[in-house]
């Protein structure tokens, strides 16, 4: 397991590619542990660099209303 912090967009892309390879690793294997760690690091990077704002509650209700009608 060779894990390094995700500091740049290149690091982020490489981490995503690696996670894709090991995503279905059997639980208890080194690859599974690596996938868990990469998932946490990717999540933190995304929170910082790709934040998703909460929707406006009124707008969310309007969108749901339109879907139902």
User: What span, in angstroms and rounded, lies between the C-alpha atoms of 31 and 37?
Assistant: 10
How many separate domains does the chain show? 1
Can you give the pLDDT at residue 10? 98
In a domain, 3, yes or no: no
Phi, psi of 23 (to 5 degrees): -55, -40
User: What span, in angstroms and rounded, lies between the C-alpha atoms of 19 and 14?
Assistant: 9
What angle (nearest 5°) sits at the alpha carbon of residue 53, between those of residues 64 and 43?
115
In a domain, 20, yes or no: yes
In a domain, 2, yes or no: no
Mean pLDDT of the chain: 93
The model's pTM: 0.76
Token pair 């894990």: residue: 3
Q: Which of 66, 10, 5, 69 is nearest to 41 (CA)?
A: 5
pLDDT at 26 over 90: yes
In a domain, 35, yes or no: yes
């Amino acid at each position: 397991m060779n894990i390094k912090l995700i500091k740049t967009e290149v690091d982020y892309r490489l981490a995503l590619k690696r996670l894709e390879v090991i995503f279905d690793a059997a639980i208890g294997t080194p690859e599974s542990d690596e996938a868990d760690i990469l998932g946490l690091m990717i999540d933190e990077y995304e929170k910082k660099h790709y934040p998703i704002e909460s929707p406006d509650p009124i707008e969310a209700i309007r969108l749901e209303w339109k879907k139902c009608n």
